[in-house]
């Protein structure tokens, strides 16, 4: 079975540009999570959705960050405008339901120059 | 708010030796606890989980973990490590009962000596 699929795997762009990260959760999973991993702060939850509805976005660092889940099989995380301090690995994870473990994608390594 | 502490940033173990990675959590009620492993350039793979019941849980790749409420700990163990176990290991906690996100420890980097 396909796992969580993230694209792109790597993204390098200049400061000020818009960045869009994409995630396809495991089919049938109804919870989706976005995390960010940096050396300084480790793994942090940014936002999570349940049945396509954002439940908790308290981890989203600034208004420059936004996330959507238009349907059960697709989510995006957008940064506009991007800044060098946004450089990190961004992970998407999904779980079958609210009581089950999360399965992670391979992440998107984002570098903002 | 819940928190997770992994006191060891790096651990070096000889191949074939036993392993124990420490994890302490802070949460008022019974937490949901997890151990994940991350290889370089990869995502996180679930090793095992504890929700309730038997405090000794078995996972994949020969790993096990023991939940000790009195010590607020959830240490990961393996009786004999293999070179392929070299990776970053993360302990995580989630508040029980909801579809909340995970709070992770900072990770322990495991190095295997031949």
The pLDDT tens digits for B17-56 are: 999 999 999 876 778 899 999 998 888 999 999 988 889 9
- Cα angle value A17/A19/A22 (rounded, 5°): 170
Q: How many other CB atoms sit within 10 Å of the CB of residue A17?
A: 13
Cβ–Cβ below 8 Å for A99 and B107: no
Instruction: Flag whether residue A102 sits within 8 Å of chain B, measured between CB atoms.
Output: yes
Residues contacting residue A77 through CB under 8 Å, at least 6 positions apart: A20, A21, A23, A34, A46, A47, A65, A66, A67, A90, A92
Among the listed residues B96, B100, B90, the one whose alpha carbon sits nearest the alpha carbon of residue B45 = B90
Output the six-digit token pair for B19: 């392993």
Instruction: Flag whether residue A33 sits within 8 Å of chain B, measured between CB atoms.
Output: yes
What pLDDT shows up at residue B95?
Answer: 64
Q: Which residue of A has its CA nearest to B108?
A: A42
Cβ–Cβ below 8 Å for A43 and B104: yes
Instruction: Flag whether residue B31 sits within 8 Å of chain A, measured between CB atoms.
Output: no
| Residues in chain A, pLDDT under 70 | 1, 98
Compute the count of residue pairs across chains A and B with CB atoms less than 8 Å apart. 50
Query: Each residue of A43-67: pLDDT tens digit?
Result: 999 999 999 999 888 899 889 999 9
d(C-alpha B14, C-alpha B30), whole Å: 35
What distance, in Å, lies between the first and last C-alpha atoms of chain B?
41
């Amino acid at each position: 079975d396909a796992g969580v699929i993230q694209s792109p795997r790597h993204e390098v762009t200049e400061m000020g540009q818009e960045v869009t990260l994409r995630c396809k959760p495991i089919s049938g999973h109804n919870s989706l999570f976005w995390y960010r991993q940096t050396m300084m702060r480790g793994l942090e939850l940014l936002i999570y959705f349940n049945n396509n509805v954002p439940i908790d976005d308290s981890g989203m660092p600034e208004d420059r960050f936004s996330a959507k889940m238009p349907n059960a099989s697709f989510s995006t995380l957008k940064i506009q405008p991007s800044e060098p301090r946004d450089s990190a690995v961004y992970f998407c994870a999904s779980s079958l339901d609210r009581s089950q473990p999360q399965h992670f994608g391979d992440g998107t390594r984002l570098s903002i120059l | 708010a819940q928190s997770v502490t992994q006191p060891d940033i790096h651990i070096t173990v000889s191949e074939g030796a036993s392993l124990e990675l420490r994890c302490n959590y802070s949460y008022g009620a019974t937490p949901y606890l997890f151990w994940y492993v991350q290889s370089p350039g990869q995502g996180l793979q679930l090793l095992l989980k504890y929700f309730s019941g038997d405090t000794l849980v078995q996972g994949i790749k020969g790993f096990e973990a023991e939940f000790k409420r009195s010590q607020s700990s959830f240490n990961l163990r393996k009786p004999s490590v293999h070179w392929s176990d070299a990776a970053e290991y993360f302990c995580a906690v989630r508040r029980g009962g909801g579809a909340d996100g995970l709070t992770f420890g900072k990770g322990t980097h495991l190095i295997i000596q031949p």
